[in-house]
Structure 1
Protein backbone atom coordinates (compact mmCIF):
# COMPACT_ATOMS: atom_id res chain seq x y z
CA UNK A 1 0.00 0.00 0.00
CA UNK A 2 1.07 3.55 -0.70
CA UNK A 3 0.15 6.48 1.50
CA UNK A 4 -0.37 10.07 0.47
CA UNK A 5 -0.73 12.91 2.96
CA UNK A 6 -1.76 16.46 2.05
CA UNK A 7 -3.16 19.40 4.00
CA UNK A 8 -4.73 22.77 3.37
CA UNK A 9 -5.71 25.70 5.57
CA UNK A 10 -9.19 27.09 5.00
CA UNK A 11 -10.86 30.29 6.16
CA UNK A 12 -13.83 28.83 8.02
CA UNK A 13 -14.39 27.70 11.61
CA UNK A 14 -13.90 24.02 12.30
CA UNK A 15 -17.63 23.27 12.69
CA UNK A 16 -18.37 24.75 9.24
CA UNK A 17 -15.62 22.62 7.65
CA UNK A 18 -16.91 19.53 9.51
CA UNK A 19 -20.47 20.08 8.24
CA UNK A 20 -19.26 20.63 4.68
CA UNK A 21 -17.16 17.46 4.77
CA UNK A 22 -20.19 15.42 5.86
CA UNK A 23 -22.58 16.51 3.08
CA UNK A 24 -22.09 13.52 0.80
CA UNK A 25 -24.27 15.02 -1.94
CA UNK A 26 -21.75 17.87 -2.41
CA UNK A 27 -18.81 15.53 -3.12
CA UNK A 28 -19.13 15.97 -6.91
CA UNK A 29 -18.53 19.69 -6.36
CA UNK A 30 -15.03 19.15 -4.97
CA UNK A 31 -13.93 15.58 -5.76
CA UNK A 32 -12.72 15.32 -9.34
CA UNK A 33 -14.27 12.43 -11.23
CA UNK A 34 -17.21 11.96 -8.85
CA UNK A 35 -20.35 12.31 -10.97
CA UNK A 36 -22.90 11.59 -8.27
CA UNK A 37 -22.78 10.93 -4.53
CA UNK A 38 -25.51 10.04 -2.09
CA UNK A 39 -25.80 8.82 1.42
CA UNK A 40 -26.57 5.13 1.61
CA UNK A 41 -28.04 5.40 5.08
CA UNK A 42 -26.19 4.98 8.32
CA UNK A 43 -22.50 5.39 7.70
CA UNK A 44 -22.49 4.45 4.02
CA UNK A 45 -21.99 6.49 0.89
CA UNK A 46 -22.56 5.58 -2.75
CA UNK A 47 -20.38 7.24 -5.40
CA UNK A 48 -20.59 7.11 -9.19
CA UNK A 49 -17.08 7.83 -10.42
CA UNK A 50 -15.78 8.53 -13.92
CA UNK A 51 -12.94 6.04 -14.36
CA UNK A 52 -11.15 6.41 -17.70
CA UNK A 53 -14.34 7.32 -19.52
CA UNK A 54 -16.60 4.74 -17.91
CA UNK A 55 -18.69 5.00 -14.77
CA UNK A 56 -17.78 2.84 -11.80
CA UNK A 57 -19.88 2.54 -8.69
CA UNK A 58 -18.24 2.61 -5.28
CA UNK A 59 -19.64 1.97 -1.86
CA UNK A 60 -17.80 3.38 1.12
CA UNK A 61 -18.14 2.95 4.85
CA UNK A 62 -17.63 6.19 6.79
CA UNK A 63 -16.62 6.26 10.44
CA UNK A 64 -16.78 9.48 12.41
CA UNK A 65 -14.52 10.22 15.33
CA UNK A 66 -16.23 13.46 16.25
CA UNK A 67 -14.33 13.99 19.48
CA UNK A 68 -11.07 13.95 17.50
CA UNK A 69 -12.64 15.81 14.54
CA UNK A 70 -11.65 12.96 12.26
CA UNK A 71 -13.54 11.05 9.58
CA UNK A 72 -12.28 7.73 8.20
CA UNK A 73 -13.55 6.05 5.06
CA UNK A 74 -12.96 2.70 3.38
CA UNK A 75 -14.35 1.42 0.11
CA UNK A 76 -16.45 -1.71 0.48
CA UNK A 77 -16.84 -2.21 -3.27
CA UNK A 78 -14.65 -1.21 -6.18
CA UNK A 79 -10.91 -0.73 -5.72
CA UNK A 80 -9.50 -1.02 -2.21
CA UNK A 81 -9.04 2.58 -1.05
CA UNK A 82 -9.06 4.12 2.41
CA UNK A 83 -8.49 7.50 3.90
CA UNK A 84 -8.76 9.86 6.81
CA UNK A 85 -9.74 13.51 7.02
CA UNK A 86 -8.69 15.28 10.19
CA UNK A 87 -9.67 18.84 11.07
CA UNK A 88 -7.47 20.94 13.31
CA UNK A 89 -8.41 24.41 14.55
CA UNK A 90 -5.87 27.10 13.69
CA UNK A 91 -7.92 29.85 15.34
CA UNK A 92 -11.64 30.68 15.61
CA UNK A 93 -11.99 31.41 11.89
CA UNK A 94 -9.45 29.04 10.28
CA UNK A 95 -9.14 25.26 10.06
CA UNK A 96 -6.43 22.93 8.78
CA UNK A 97 -7.75 19.96 6.79
CA UNK A 98 -5.38 17.00 6.72
CA UNK A 99 -6.04 14.22 4.22
CA UNK A 100 -4.39 10.81 4.32
CA UNK A 101 -5.15 8.41 1.46
CA UNK A 102 -4.04 4.77 1.35
CA UNK A 103 -4.09 2.96 -1.97
CA UNK A 104 -2.50 0.14 -3.91
CA UNK A 105 -0.92 1.65 -7.06
CA UNK A 106 -1.65 -1.47 -9.12
CA UNK A 107 -5.30 -1.50 -8.10
CA UNK A 108 -5.67 2.22 -8.83
CA UNK A 109 -4.08 1.82 -12.26
CA UNK A 110 -6.33 -1.15 -13.04
CA UNK A 111 -9.47 0.68 -11.89
CA UNK A 112 -8.76 4.13 -13.33
CA UNK A 113 -6.13 3.59 -16.01
CA UNK A 114 -3.30 6.05 -16.38
CA UNK A 115 0.47 5.90 -15.97
CA UNK A 116 2.61 3.61 -13.83
CA UNK A 117 5.10 4.29 -11.09
CA UNK A 118 6.25 7.81 -10.31
CA UNK A 119 3.97 9.38 -12.93
CA UNK A 120 0.95 7.75 -11.30
CA UNK A 121 2.00 8.87 -7.80
CA UNK A 122 2.47 12.43 -9.10
CA UNK A 123 -0.96 12.34 -10.76
CA UNK A 124 -2.61 11.13 -7.55
CA UNK A 125 -0.85 13.81 -5.49
CA UNK A 126 -2.01 16.50 -7.92
CA UNK A 127 -5.57 15.14 -7.85
CA UNK A 128 -5.72 15.18 -4.03
CA UNK A 129 -4.23 18.70 -3.86
CA UNK A 130 -6.80 19.92 -6.42
CA UNK A 131 -9.64 18.24 -4.50
CA UNK A 132 -8.52 19.97 -1.29
CA UNK A 133 -8.38 23.34 -3.10
CA UNK A 134 -11.92 22.76 -4.40
CA UNK A 135 -13.07 21.79 -0.90
CA UNK A 136 -11.58 25.02 0.43
CA UNK A 137 -13.40 27.06 -2.22
CA UNK A 138 -16.70 25.28 -1.50
CA UNK A 139 -16.45 25.65 2.29
CA UNK A 140 -15.45 29.31 2.12
CA UNK A 141 -18.16 30.12 -0.43
CA UNK A 142 -20.93 28.38 1.50
CA UNK A 143 -19.89 29.82 4.82
Structure 2
Protein backbone atom coordinates (compact mmCIF):
# COMPACT_ATOMS: atom_id res chain seq x y z
CA UNK A 1 0.00 0.00 0.00
CA UNK A 2 1.09 3.58 -0.67
CA UNK A 3 0.07 6.60 1.36
CA UNK A 4 -0.83 10.13 0.35
CA UNK A 5 -1.19 12.97 2.87
CA UNK A 6 -2.12 16.49 1.81
CA UNK A 7 -3.68 19.51 3.52
CA UNK A 8 -5.10 22.81 2.39
CA UNK A 9 -6.51 25.85 4.15
CA UNK A 10 -9.79 27.11 2.74
CA UNK A 11 -11.32 30.52 3.31
CA UNK A 12 -14.74 29.31 4.46
CA UNK A 13 -16.13 28.35 7.87
CA UNK A 14 -15.65 24.77 9.05
CA UNK A 15 -19.30 23.76 8.59
CA UNK A 16 -19.26 25.05 4.98
CA UNK A 17 -16.15 23.04 4.05
CA UNK A 18 -17.50 19.92 5.76
CA UNK A 19 -20.97 20.26 4.23
CA UNK A 20 -19.51 20.54 0.73
CA UNK A 21 -17.31 17.48 1.23
CA UNK A 22 -20.42 15.41 2.04
CA UNK A 23 -21.78 16.16 -1.46
CA UNK A 24 -19.97 13.27 -3.15
CA UNK A 25 -21.82 13.65 -6.45
CA UNK A 26 -20.15 17.07 -6.84
CA UNK A 27 -16.61 15.58 -6.71
CA UNK A 28 -16.23 15.48 -10.53
CA UNK A 29 -16.31 19.32 -10.44
CA UNK A 30 -12.97 19.45 -8.63
CA UNK A 31 -11.38 15.98 -8.71
CA UNK A 32 -9.31 15.25 -11.79
CA UNK A 33 -10.08 11.86 -13.31
CA UNK A 34 -13.36 11.42 -11.43
CA UNK A 35 -16.05 11.16 -14.09
CA UNK A 36 -19.03 10.32 -11.88
CA UNK A 37 -19.93 9.57 -8.28
CA UNK A 38 -23.38 8.22 -7.43
CA UNK A 39 -24.44 8.06 -3.81
CA UNK A 40 -26.59 4.94 -3.47
CA UNK A 41 -27.47 5.41 0.22
CA UNK A 42 -26.08 7.20 3.30
CA UNK A 43 -23.06 4.87 3.47
CA UNK A 44 -22.35 3.82 -0.13
CA UNK A 45 -21.09 5.46 -3.32
CA UNK A 46 -20.34 4.17 -6.81
CA UNK A 47 -17.40 5.76 -8.65
CA UNK A 48 -16.45 5.93 -12.32
CA UNK A 49 -12.93 7.20 -12.97
CA UNK A 50 -10.49 7.52 -15.84
CA UNK A 51 -6.79 8.08 -15.32
CA UNK A 52 -3.96 7.70 -17.82
CA UNK A 53 -6.34 6.01 -20.25
CA UNK A 54 -7.52 3.45 -17.68
CA UNK A 55 -11.23 3.50 -16.83
CA UNK A 56 -12.40 1.99 -13.56
CA UNK A 57 -15.63 1.59 -11.66
CA UNK A 58 -15.73 0.75 -7.98
CA UNK A 59 -17.82 1.08 -4.86
CA UNK A 60 -16.86 2.76 -1.61
CA UNK A 61 -18.35 2.66 1.85
CA UNK A 62 -18.33 5.46 4.42
CA UNK A 63 -17.12 3.73 7.59
CA UNK A 64 -16.99 6.74 9.94
CA UNK A 65 -18.56 10.15 9.58
CA UNK A 66 -18.79 12.75 12.31
CA UNK A 67 -20.21 16.14 11.28
CA UNK A 68 -17.69 18.98 11.17
CA UNK A 69 -14.86 16.59 12.07
CA UNK A 70 -14.21 13.70 9.65
CA UNK A 71 -15.30 11.38 6.86
CA UNK A 72 -13.57 7.99 6.52
CA UNK A 73 -14.08 5.51 3.69
CA UNK A 74 -12.88 2.26 2.18
CA UNK A 75 -13.42 0.70 -1.20
CA UNK A 76 -15.44 -2.49 -1.32
CA UNK A 77 -14.68 -5.12 -3.91
CA UNK A 78 -13.42 -4.37 -7.39
CA UNK A 79 -9.91 -3.65 -8.53
CA UNK A 80 -9.45 -0.34 -6.68
CA UNK A 81 -8.19 -0.71 -3.11
CA UNK A 82 -8.06 2.31 -0.85
CA UNK A 83 -8.91 3.55 2.60
CA UNK A 84 -8.86 7.15 3.66
CA UNK A 85 -9.94 9.90 5.98
CA UNK A 86 -10.52 13.58 5.47
CA UNK A 87 -10.58 15.74 8.59
CA UNK A 88 -11.64 19.33 9.11
CA UNK A 89 -9.90 21.67 11.53
CA UNK A 90 -11.33 25.07 12.46
CA UNK A 91 -8.63 27.72 12.18
CA UNK A 92 -10.94 30.63 13.02
CA UNK A 93 -14.52 31.68 12.21
CA UNK A 94 -13.84 31.97 8.48
CA UNK A 95 -11.00 29.51 7.79
CA UNK A 96 -10.69 25.72 7.83
CA UNK A 97 -7.85 23.28 7.30
CA UNK A 98 -8.81 20.21 5.25
CA UNK A 99 -6.49 17.23 5.83
CA UNK A 100 -6.65 14.18 3.59
CA UNK A 101 -4.84 10.89 4.24
CA UNK A 102 -5.31 7.92 1.94
CA UNK A 103 -3.74 4.47 1.63
CA UNK A 104 -4.09 2.89 -1.79
CA UNK A 105 -2.74 -0.03 -3.77
CA UNK A 106 -1.49 1.01 -7.21
CA UNK A 107 -2.59 -1.54 -9.82
CA UNK A 108 -0.65 -2.19 -12.99
CA UNK A 109 2.62 -0.81 -14.22
CA UNK A 110 1.32 2.65 -15.13
CA UNK A 111 -0.19 3.26 -11.66
CA UNK A 112 2.92 1.97 -9.89
CA UNK A 113 5.11 4.26 -12.01
CA UNK A 114 2.81 7.22 -11.34
CA UNK A 115 3.02 6.50 -7.61
CA UNK A 116 6.83 6.26 -7.64
CA UNK A 117 7.08 9.52 -9.61
CA UNK A 118 4.86 11.35 -7.10
CA UNK A 119 2.04 11.88 -9.56
CA UNK A 120 -0.59 10.62 -7.11
CA UNK A 121 0.54 13.13 -4.47
CA UNK A 122 0.40 15.93 -7.05
CA UNK A 123 -3.06 14.86 -8.22
CA UNK A 124 -4.43 14.86 -4.67
CA UNK A 125 -2.80 18.23 -4.01
CA UNK A 126 -4.40 19.56 -7.21
CA UNK A 127 -7.77 18.13 -6.22
CA UNK A 128 -7.59 19.94 -2.88
CA UNK A 129 -6.64 23.20 -4.60
CA UNK A 130 -9.61 22.78 -6.97
CA UNK A 131 -11.84 22.06 -3.93
CA UNK A 132 -10.58 25.30 -2.37
CA UNK A 133 -11.42 27.26 -5.52
CA UNK A 134 -14.80 25.52 -5.87
CA UNK A 135 -15.99 26.25 -2.32
CA UNK A 136 -14.46 29.72 -2.01
CA UNK A 137 -15.95 30.87 -5.33
CA UNK A 138 -19.38 29.63 -4.24
CA UNK A 139 -19.06 30.87 -0.66
CA UNK A 140 -21.57 28.22 0.41
CA UNK A 141 -22.01 24.48 0.10
CA UNK A 142 -24.15 22.95 -2.65
CA UNK A 143 -25.86 20.83 0.03
CA UNK A 144 -25.16 19.05 3.29
CA UNK A 145 -25.55 15.72 5.00
CA UNK A 146 -24.95 15.95 8.72
CA UNK A 147 -25.77 12.39 9.78
CA UNK A 148 -23.50 10.28 11.94
CA UNK A 149 -22.03 7.02 10.72
CA UNK A 150 -20.16 5.08 13.38
CA UNK A 151 -17.56 2.40 12.75
CA UNK A 152 -19.05 -1.07 13.07
CA UNK A 153 -22.66 -0.01 12.43
TM-score bracket, normalised by the shorter chain, equals: 0.7 to 0.9
Contact 2:73-2:85 at 8 Å conserved across structures: yes
TM-score (norm 2): 0.82
Change (3 A) 1:55 1:2: closer
Does 125-134 or 44-53 show the bigger shift? 44-53
CA shift for structure 1 position 45: 0.8
Q: Which has the higher helix share?
A: 1
Aligned twin of 1:125? 121
Unaligned runs of 5+ in 1: none
Change (3 A) 1:111 1:38: farther
Name the Cα RMSD after superposition: 1.9
SS at match of 1:60: strand
> Relative contact order, CA 8 A, sep 6+: which one is greater?
2
Which consecutive aligned stretches of 4+ in structure 1 deviate over 4 angstroms post-superposition? none
How many aligned positions are there?
A: 138
Contact 1:59-1:78 at 8 Å conserved across structures: no
Counterparts of 1:35 and 1:112 in 2: how far apart (Å)? 19
Deviation string, structure 1 residues 89-123 (Cα, Å, up to 9, x no partner):
0000000000001122xxx142864626631xx11
Counterparts of 1:24 and 1:117 in 2: how far apart (Å)? 24
SS at match of 2:87: strand
SS at match of 2:41: coil
Contact 2:14-2:68 at 8 Å conserved across structures: no
Contact 2:6-2:100 at 8 Å conserved across structures: yes
Unaligned runs of 5+ in 2: 140-153
